[in-house]
């Protein structure tokens, strides 16, 4: 997986995690979540996702022209 795809997926996970924790926080405490708490949760959610995506290697394309010569 190329860098920009990993980055995009990681950012999406961060946003989704932040939205989910904000909804849970709002329902439990009946107030908005402090931004630093949402950032910490999003960052902690992004770490394992980034590491998992780093392990997914891009597929190597065969260069058919070089094999014929």
pLDDT per residue of the chain (69 residues) written in tens, 0 to 9: 789 999 999 999 999 999 999 999 999 999 998 989 999 999 999 999 999 999 987 666 555 565 555
Q: How far apart are CA 6 and CA 44, in angstroms?
A: 16
State the pLDDT at residue 22: 92
Give pTM, 2 decimals.
0.75
State the pLDDT at residue 61: 56
């Amino acid at each position: 997986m190329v860098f920009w795809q990993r980055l995009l997926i990681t950012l999406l996970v961060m946003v989704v995690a932040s939205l989910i924790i904000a909804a849970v926080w709002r329902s439990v405490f009946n107030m908005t979540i402090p931004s630093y708490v949402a950032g910490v949760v999003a960052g902690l959610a992004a770490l394992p996702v980034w590491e998992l995506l780093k392990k997914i290697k891009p597929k190597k394309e065969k260069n058919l022209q070089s094999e014929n010569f």
